[in-house]
A and B are shown apart, each in its own frame.
Chain A
Amino acid sequence: MKKISLLIMTVIVCLCLMIIFSNSHEIVFESMESKSLNNAAVYNKIKWFNFANKDVWMMNQSHDGLSAQKWDRLAIVIDKTQTPKLAKFYQLEPGALEWSEGLKEVPLRVSCFMCHPNGPRVIRPNLDSSTAPLPWQDRIKLSLWNLKIKSYGRLKTSAPSYENLKAVPFRWPDHYANEPLTVKTCTKCHKESGLFARGTLLRQNILTVKFMVEKGLMPPLGMSLSNLEKSQLEKFIAGF
């Protein structure tokens, strides 16, 4: 009986490893978080490339439906040779999700740091999407990818080296946009260093903060905000 259990466990682990390390397949899904300006669905295609010294997360994103001709092509590269690891951000010319060195960069459309103060974030598809339903294999794969993303811990972030006259800044630089969120329960993890550190949240991150709190994704299971903290957070989100 023990042998059978062990065999089943081994098969499951092997399957999971096969799924997580198979680079050939991109996952297409409707985003739970992202909405276009007219509140329409935003679609993402994501692919992960695993190299010895780096992980490459590539994404094609469409704000104009699944049939859009041109999708915004983006990449986050995790440099695993550094401690803490370094997340480098890229906006690339539209194209396929295939990674190679020297892909042509284009100006950022938006500031990456607004939503990514700590590198790649957990991938959250709309599981009820009728336009881009997610097969069960892809759900498993996304769950495993999310574990991988969580395992990075605290990451340093780096703006694209690419300079352009029209480039939106990687991170808004002025004092007001860099005021930190100081709600005590949040800062248990959203701080610069420590075991569960995920980086300080700033005023420019409030769209993401708002989404996470409103959807009940934050604070995480087992943590809650006091009434005073709720009020502090509301004020911060409101800009005070």
Chain B
Amino acid sequence: MKLLGLILCCALLTQTAAASDFTCFSYEDGQKYLTVEQRVTHWGNREIIIKNPNEKIYTIFGNGYIENAGSLEQEVIQFYTATGKLTIVQTPQFCGRAGCGDGPNLNAVAKLVLDGVESQYSCHEKN
């Protein structure tokens, strides 16, 4: 029984995978930022931890989907709570219409609505 428990525990732990994390800068002043940490729980749910400038921490859940636009493919991830919503739009790289390349590592934008307050951010993936 103990062995079964151990196997089950290991199996759940191996399912826990880190998804992309982001650092986001405010549209307003380019300074205020929030950090977004995504993870997949033991139960396969995707959860997201948002740390905003006021040091408040929120945990919300959601799903993502790929919007196919040819080479300008975007991943749209939307997360919801009872009081808020976070939308992240991510492109695979630093891309313009002319192509992609190494750039300022900006490849995502985020819009956060929490407790009725809306804010927009440009984000880059944490390495």
Residues on A lying within 8 angstroms of B by beta carbon are: 31, 33-38, 42, 61-64, 68, 72, 109-111, 114-115, 165-169, 172-178, 203-204, 206-208, 210-211, 238-239
B113 to chain A, nearest CB (A): 9
Stretch of B11-19, B36-44, B101-109 with 4 or more beta carbons under 8 angstroms from chain A = B101-109
Residues of B within 8 A of A (CB): 25-27, 30-31, 69-74, 76, 87, 89, 91-92, 94-104, 106, 109, 111, 120, 122
A168 and B89 form a contact (CB under 8 A): yes
Q: How far is the CA of A34 from the CA of B69 in the complex (A)?
A: 16
A110-B72, A165-B87 as given contacts; A177 in contact with B122, CB under 8 Å: yes
By the criterion CB–CB under 8 Å, are B97 and A110 in contact? yes
A108 to chain B, nearest CB (A): 10
Q: How far is A174 from B121 in the complex, measured between Cα atoms in Å?
A: 9
Q: 9 A–B contact pairs at CB < 8 A?
A: A31-B98, A37-B92, A62-B70, A109-B97, A115-B97, A115-B98, A165-B111, A173-B27, A203-B104
Set B27, B76, B98: member contacting A211, Cβ < 8 A:
B98
B33's nearest neighbour on chain A, judged by CB, is A174
Cross-chain contact A35 with B122 (CB below 8 angstroms): no
Tell me the bound Cα distance from A85 to B111 in angstroms. Answer: 31
Cβ contacts under 8 Å, B99 to chain A:
33-37, 207
A177 CA to B121 CA in the complex, in Å? Answer: 13
- B109 contacts across to A, CB distance below 8 A: 167-169
- Contacting residue for A208 out of B30, B70, B95, B96, CB 8 A: B96
Compute how far the CA of A169 lies from the CA of B121 in the bound complex, rounded to whole angstroms: 9
Of the candidates A63, A166, A204, A206, the one whose C-beta lies within 8 Å of that of B76 is: A166
What residues on A are CB-neighbors of B71 within 8 Å?
36-38, 63-64
Q: Is the CB of B103 within 8 A of A175?
A: no
B46 to chain A, nearest CB (A): 18
